[in-house]
Amino acid sequence: MDVSAMIPELLSALPLTLAITFTALIAGFCLALIATTLRVRRVPVISHLVDLYVSYARSVPVVLQLFVAFYGLPLLVALFGSEDFFSPTIAAMVGLSFYHGGYLSEVMRPAYLAVDRGQHDAADSLGYTFRQKITRVVGPQAVHFALPGYGNSIIYLIHNVALVMYIGAADVMATAHLIMERDYNQYQFETYLVLAVIYSLMCLVAWLIVRFFELRSPMQAPEATTTTPIKNELIASV
Amino acid sequence: MFDTDILLPDTQEILGAVPVTLGMAFLIFGLSTIVGSIFALIEYRRVPVLRELIMAYKIVFKGVPMVIVIFLAYFGLPPAFQFLFSLLGINFNAHETPNWVILVVAITGCVAAFQSEIIKGALNAFDTGQSDAAHSLGYTGGQLFRRILFPQVALTAIPDLTTSMMVIMKALSLGFAIEVVDIFAQSQLTAALNYYYLEAFVIAVVIYMVIAYIVTQIADRLERALRVRT
């Protein structure tokens, strides 16, 4: 079994994996922005619902979230009387977007709170609206705090994209399984090693991109800031 | 459509998997904390060669998804065990290693990398002036560890260790790929028998969220009870 024959075939499924990743990245980011806004503004009932959503995204295994999306979405769509148009790929995108949004919201909120209290007060006292405060004062500083956590969450998203195979999306993992079965399951260990390398490389690229932005960040941390450094979760989320 | 009549019998069936899941989670938690502490201590003491090895270990286990680690362990561990046993001259068929042992080893390997990071962080937060003071009072190394270092480091690490406990609980759900039955796998099995998929998964979601809530509550209480009031 030469690995060189296997790699092009595996890479042919890479666009789908990347498509799912990027959709989840963008949709998750929007979701996280909305969720974080609702949470920090403490809108009465809604903020509790959003809290529940965040704890759903963080405390339920991603596989289970994917299955819930896969079986739950058609039901939701049927309620509104339209056709079931959910392929596994779309269900995977939606499921992972919700996961990423919830996870990212818990990166953004501490970053927002980590911005020096005085800055919030100053913006408020100058009569800034919430939007102005976010875009002009707090947001740019919070980005700096959020970047390391954001890098981690992208890496965990890439890890979790490996799970979409279980609801039937034809990503790199699923292709690898096809290849293994075609070869009568002789080279499973080797195939998984190749997969491990592919995923590591994807993570490495993501990490390098985030690192680039971290180094370019204009607020190259004046070391003696009084703000407490926010804690980034060190541990992978599954 | 969503059927509410099936919820009760399904819940009973899925709850049956909770003790096994919790048991495995605690086992992995204990093992990975021990391994992680050893790693952290090696990095803290700056042991020459071992330190670089641990760095490499961490990089590898951070980049590779846990599913793939579990599959690699599933296909790679039995031959490795077999080789080890034959080297030691023990007659034991390692290909009969139960799957849950493989799962425990795989997740321990993954989580230990993160645990070591957590414990290293807690060790770094420890004020070295206190160990100097203890030495000047003539404490032995063991006494220093038991009376001063450990209580503080453990307290600092509690929030992060709670997170890692939850991550272990969630990671066990990947065990269904190698036929280990935990909460998630049980919900899938239950659903496969009566075709009420969504209902079973919703029950599993609720169970996971309740467990997460209880674990965080216990950790919060513990931390508040142990913190020295100044």
Predicted local confidence at residue B46, as pLDDT = 82
ipTM: 0.85
State which residue of chain B sits closest to A205, comparing Cα positions: B63
Cβ contact (<8 Å) for B173 and A61? yes
Mean pLDDT across chain A: 84
Q: What is the tens place of the pLDDT at every residue in B125-182?
A: 888 888 888 889 888 888 888 888 888 888 888 888 888 898 899 999 988 888 888 8
Contacts of B117 in chain A (CB under 8 A): 234-235
Which CATH number applies to A3-216? 1.10.3720.10
Confidence of residue B217 (pLDDT cuts 50, 70, 90): very high
Predicted local confidence at residue A226, as pLDDT = 43
Q: What is the number of other CB atoms lying within 10 angstroms of the CB of residue B167? A: 24
Predicted local confidence at residue B25, as pLDDT = 92
pTM of the entire predicted model: 0.86
DSSP code per residue over B180-219: ---HHHHHHHHHHHH--HHHHHHHHHHHHHHHHHHHHHHH
Q: What is the tens place of the pLDDT at every residue in B2-26?
A: 677 778 888 888 888 899 999 999 9
Predicted local confidence at residue A235, as pLDDT = 59
As a whole number, mean pLDDT of residues A27-41 equals 91
Q: What is the tens place of the pLDDT at every residue in A111-153?
A: 888 888 888 888 889 888 888 888 888 888 888 888 888 888 8
Cβ atoms of B177 and B70 within 8 Å: the answer is yes
Cβ atoms of B72 and A189 within 8 Å: the answer is yes
The alpha-carbon gap from B227 to the nearest alpha carbon of chain A, in Å, equals: 19
Predicted local confidence at residue A1, as pLDDT = 58
* Percentage with pLDDT > 90 across chain A: 22
Predicted local confidence at residue B175, as pLDDT = 87
Q: What is the tens place of the pLDDT at every residue in B111-125?
A: 998 888 888 888 888
Instruction: Give me the count of residues in chain B.
Output: 230
Contacts of A237 in chain B (CB under 8 A): 167, 170
Is B20-175 a CATH 3.40.47.10 domain? no
- The C-alpha atoms of residue B170 and residue B167 are separated, in whole angstroms, by 5
State which residue of chain B sits closest to A77, comparing Cα positions: B1
